[in-house]
Amino acid sequence: MLKTVLHEAIMAGGEQVSKYFNQTFEIKYKEGRNNLVTAADHASERAILEVIQKAYPDHYILTEETGELPQNSEYKWIIDPIDGTINFAHGIPLNCISIGVEFKGEMILGMVYNPHMNELFFAEKGEGAT
C-alpha cells in the first residue's frame, strides 16, 4: 500500500507542476535570491499532502515548504514538491517532484518524477531501482 500511495502522491504533485509550467504565476524568495518558491510549489505540495494524509493521517511528514507535520509514527514522508524550482520558474523542464519514505529512521522507498518528460524513477530498499 505504501508504494501505491507514494505513486498516487507523486502523480498528483506532477499534475499540478504540469498545470503551472510555462504559465504566469507568483514567485517569492525565501532565504536569498536563489531560493525561490512559486505558487506551483505550494499547489504541488497541497496535492501530495492530500493523498498521503488521506491514506496515512497518522504518519509524520516533512515538506520543503510547510515544514514538519509531526506525528508519533515510525513512518516519515520527506517531500520536495518541485526539486529544481529555479529551472521551473525559467521554463526549463529539468525539475521534478521528489518523495522519500523512512521507516524507523531508515529510507525504505523513494520516487522522483519529472512530469515534463514523463520520467519516473523508483527505489525500494533491498530491491534496487527502476
Provide the grid cell at 7.
505513486
Structure confidence by residue, pLDDT tens digits, 5-43:
999 999 999 999 999 998 766 666 666 666 678 899 999
**Number of other residues whose CB lies within 10 A of the CB of residue 25:** 16
What architecture does CATH give domain 2-129?
2-Layer Sandwich (3.30)
- Quick one: pLDDT at residue 86? 87
Backbone angle region of 63, left / alpha / beta, with phi > 0 → left and psi within -120 to 50 → alpha: beta
Domain ranges of the chain: 2-129
pTM recorded for the entire structure: 0.91
